[in-house]
Amino acid sequence: MSAGAFPKGAQLEAQINRRRRQGVYLRLSFLGSLMLAILALLTLLANIINSAFGLVALENAVSPAALVEEIGLDPAGSALSDLSKDDLLLVLEGNINNNVGRRLEREQRFYSDSLVFETQTKWDEICAREVDRPAGCSGDVRGRDDVYALVVEQIVQPKALETWSLIDSVLHRSEIEAAAAVSYPDADLVFRSWLSMDFVTSPQSPKAEVAGVRTAVLGSLWIVLVTIVFSFPVGVAAAVYLEEYARDTRLNRLIQTNINNLAGVPSIIYGMLGLAIFVRVLETFTSGAFLGAVDGGVTANGRTVVSAGLTLGLLILPIIIINAQEAIRAVPQSLRSAGMALGATQWQTIRAHVLPNAVPGILTGAILAVARALGETAPLVVVGASTFITTDPSGPFAKFTALPIQIFQWTSRPQDEFRNIAAAAIIVLLIMLLALNATAIVLRNRYARRV
């Protein structure tokens, strides 16, 4: 085709066909990119499920049935997992040595009114100490599930010799059975769901087979509670100020630009801020020392739930403010004018008209921000999450661990069984996030219908 000449006839048709073909190819590649992103999401989920369930060769140090028989019950009639707390303690007393028992009792008591391993005089003596007072002297009593977890961990001691993924377990079951019979003649090959009720209710443990996420889930909930209490009121107030009160001054523009920039700061930087300010400078407050609320003489040196919660609070504050601003901006100007015209003051108008109308938007935004906080890991590591605690957090001034931290630590271990429980913990985390997001959607829909 010569320059400038418009193609005609067959030439034109060929050119149009070529352009159309190009269009189809590129359209397919655009769609393909989108599908690739979705495929990545599906692979990610499948990969997690694949690790959270599967065959495992388990070997118990002592069989559960033998333990039931030992305390004079019929193993055919009652399983170890169904025993009462008293029976389980009998099993525990009969099978662990007294030193271990005393250590466990000092961590947390078994009964509020009597002692199992310690003598009363010794107990009174150690609890009267000023320093090194064990945590068991104050705080709650161990529940039945906790005692059961101890029996399994200390006595039954199930050990995973090898684990297989879900896909292998389903497709190659017979080969795995044959191989396991040769390699591990004493072990039971069982199909195990690493995600189970026991997993959710058991405390952390150094043994993957009996470890659970209760400590971590409670830690996460405590942290998120502190985060909400701090960042929700402050965030909404700041949004109201910026939308309703702020005139176009240099300072107010600075605040607005600053909030937008803060939203882009990497989360780990907030962790460093939290470490320097909340953990170090404000240690007296964040460790609870100013209230005298130091648990059993053991301080967490400011590396507490409060520090973590406030750090995450600062992290999600810009998100809450920006979302709340949008919700407030969406309230029609006529509502404000009507309120003002009836003689209401500015704050009365905001409280009675603007905020009620903006509530669904504000709440939805806040819930999504909280979901972000729940999944944050890096700032918590920097602020100083405890690497290993088995006792539940007792309050805002307790040492903490959190579910994402737990996932991080388990993922970093080289053994297969830790990968399995990391996958199970991820599912627990994703379910919590899903619940939060569902709440946000329900809220939005409910209020949207009313307005």
Q: Pick out residues in 350-409 that bind another protein (CB under 8 A).
A: 371, 374-378, 381-382, 384, 387, 404, 407-408
255 touches another protein (CB under 8 A): yes
Could you tell me the two tokens for 280? Answer: 């170090």
Which span sits near another protein by CB under 8 A: 16-24, 152-160, 214-222, 391-399? 16-24
Q: How far is the CB of 82 from another protein (least distance, A)?
A: 35
Q: How far is the CB of 169 from another protein (least distance, A)?
A: 16
Crossing angle of helices 355-375 and 305-329, in 10° steps, is 140
Rounded to a whole number, what is the largest CA-CA distance in the chain? 108
Q: How far is the CB of 65 from another protein (least distance, A)?
A: 36
282 touches another protein (CB under 8 A): no
Could you tell me the two tokens for 37? Answer: 């992103």
Strands (E), 99-227: 159-163, 188-193
The one among 11, 63, 258, 337 contacting another protein by CB under 8 A: 258
Nearer to another protein, 32 or 332 (CB): 32
Q: How far is the CB of 315 from another protein (least distance, A)?
A: 9
34 touches another protein (CB under 8 A): yes
Is 251 in a helix, a strand, or coil?
helix
Question: How many Cα atoms are found within 13 Å in the side-chain-facing hemisphere of 74?
Answer: 2
Nearer to another protein, 252 or 357 (CB): 252
Which span sits near another protein by CB under 8 A: 40-48, 108-116, 128-136, 137-145? 40-48
Q: Pick out residues in 168-187 that bind another protein (CB under 8 A).
A: none
Q: Pick out residues in 51-90 that bind another protein (CB under 8 A).
A: 51
Q: Pick out residues in 334-353 that bind another protein (CB under 8 A).
A: 345-347
The one among 49, 115, 272, 344 contacting another protein by CB under 8 A: 272
22 touches another protein (CB under 8 A): yes
Could you write out the DSSP letters of every residue in 60-124? -SS-HHHHHHHTT--TTT--GGG--HHHHHHHHHHHS-HHHHHHHHHHSBS-SS--SSS-HHHHH
Dihedral of CA 29/35/41/42: which sign? negative
CA distances from 213 to 87, 219, 316, 375 (A): 25, 10, 25, 15
Query: What binding mask, one character per residue, do residues 199-238 give for another protein by CB under 8 A, x or -?
Result: ----------------------------------xxx-xx
Which span sits near another protein by CB under 8 A: 53-61, 275-283, 288-296, 332-340? 275-283
23 touches another protein (CB under 8 A): yes
Closest by Cα among 241, 189, 206, 196 to 81: 196
402 contacts 219 by C-beta, under 8 angstroms = yes
Nearer to another protein, 17 or 98 (CB): 17
Q: What angle do CA 261, 263, 267 make, to 5 degrees?
A: 115
Phi, psi (5° rounding) for residue 394? Answer: -95, -5
199 contacts 286 by C-beta, under 8 angstroms = no
> How large is the C-alpha radius of gyration of the chain?
30
Which span sits near another protein by CB under 8 A: 119-127, 185-193, 204-212, 315-323? 315-323
Nearer to another protein, 147 or 228 (CB): 228
426 touches another protein (CB under 8 A): yes
